[in-house]
Amino acid sequence: MKKLIFILCLLTISLPSLGKNATKQFDELLNELFEPNGPGGVALVVKEGKTIYRKAFGMANLELNVKMMPDNIFRIGSISKQFTAVAILKLVEEGKIDLDADITLYIKDYPTHGHSITIKHIESHLGDQKLY
């Protein structure tokens, strides 16, 4: 996983400087990461609203011998929690919401069942790491 994150960071940093051989560079990096008969992934690179690279690597299902395809749909699991937590903290930073405010200040008909539920309470359920 660390290797994948490192490669994604490299791609992000080097994207503006990529020329016509971008496809070759992406292929080299990702072919090194994904074995043809191992667990796979899909890469998509968009620059200025235009898709410049889209390719699948490895297998989608090892047991059934199903190859990964660029159109595969993935379950995102709990990955969206981190983005939601950061979005909430960005709103706090911009002064648009208050972590200590009751949720009913922002969602009037939220069913609190008589309990006080703050934005901080909601934030603490978004992941194991507290960001505040």
CB 75 within 8 A of CB 69: no
Quickly list H helices, 15-131.
Answer: 22-33, 80-93, 119-124
The pLDDT score that the predictor gives to residue 61 is 93
The pLDDT score that the predictor gives to residue 38 is 94
The pLDDT score that the predictor gives to residue 73 is 86
CB 86 within 8 A of CB 94: no
The pLDDT score that the predictor gives to residue 125 is 74
Collect all residues with Cβ–Cβ distance below 8 Å to 80 and sequence separation of at least 6: none
* Residue 55 structure tokens: 């390719």
> How crowded is residue 59: how many other Cβ atoms within 10 Å of its Cβ?
19
The pLDDT score that the predictor gives to residue 10 is 56
CB 55 within 8 A of CB 28: no
Give every residue of the chain whose pLDDT is below 50, as ranges.
129-132
The pLDDT score that the predictor gives to residue 128 is 52
Catalytic residues: 78
The pLDDT score that the predictor gives to residue 9 is 54
